[in-house]
Amino acid sequence: MNDTCFLPLGSNVSCLHVVYTGSLLAAGLHFRSSLSILHPPWPSCTAFSCLIEPAAHSIVRVYSRHKTELLKATVKVTGLICASICAWYLGYLFAELLPEDSIQTAIDSVQQVGVRPVLKAPVPKKMKCGVWTQCGPDELPYLTRSGGAKDVMPLACLDDEFFLGGSNQKGDRGINIVVINHETWKAIDIKTFDMYDGDFSGPMVEFINKIPQGSVIMISSHDDAFSKLSEDAKKVFEGLGSKEVRNLKFRSAWVFLSVKGATLPEYLEKEKIIHSHDEKNRYGGWPSEIQIDGCLPKK
């Protein structure tokens, strides 16, 4: 092989570079001729059609895509600006039309949306005589409760004033009677008649007969109200409206409300009774307490 190569004077290209470039061109022509065996003849390819034209198409596609995205972004920005202008104008319009107090109230309401509400339970009202019924202005709450065993004293209360039990600690074994004036609603007299030891039915009948007409009578038993109760006493209680006095037994618990010479409304609790029972008693030989309560009309 002749290693001599002829180059123009002043050329900076070496013979080795010329040989290397020629080898590459020869290899390319050989590869193209090899492909022509497997496929139809390839079309002629110029520098513009094979290199520049595809690159130009790629640039056009990229530009078109970015142009579309730029257009979308422009539309969004324009819409945001228009919405801001409309919101500002509406706010200005409402500020001119609505009173300042209404706007401040609305702002305060919006500010309170995220505030956690504080729930406060209402202060419980004091119920007179411990009665859970709300009485009207022309009514007085009342409660009468029998005693229990030997130590639980009976109760009698009207308009939150305790005549038996409570701080007075009044009441004892037998039949306890409270007489109340129907105008002042204050107690006229309070008596206890022992029905277990002694003979007190006669004095009790005489006491009841002397009670003024119209007086409120509250009766509450404690321990035993039956053993020494006479027939005359039963008739006196029946005259006051009692329907349970003849059903009394040893250590029965009994409460009774009456107005002498008058009839109480049917809806009021006026009388209750419970008997001693060995298997049902609350206090061994004594039954549990019983009570009546409600709202007593003033007229």
In whole angstroms, what is the distance from residue 16 CA to residue 31 CA? 23
- pLDDT digit string (tens) for 41-72? 444 555 445 555 565 566 656 556 666 777 77
Cross-strand pairs, 156: 144, 164
8 A C-beta contact, residue 253 and residue 177: no
Q: 247 pLDDT band (50/70/90 cuts)?
A: very high
For the entire predicted model, the pTM comes to 0.59
Amino acid at 27: A
8 A C-beta contact, residue 255 and residue 271: yes
Helix (H) or strand (E) holding 66: helix 53-97
Residue 56 gets the label, from left (phi > 0), alpha (psi -120 to 50) or beta, of: alpha
8 A C-beta contact, residue 204 and residue 175: yes
Cβ within 8 Å of residue 175, ≥6 positions away: 192, 193, 195, 204, 219, 221, 225, 229
- pLDDT digit string (tens) for 145-188? 999 888 889 999 999 999 998 776 788 999 999 999 999 999 99
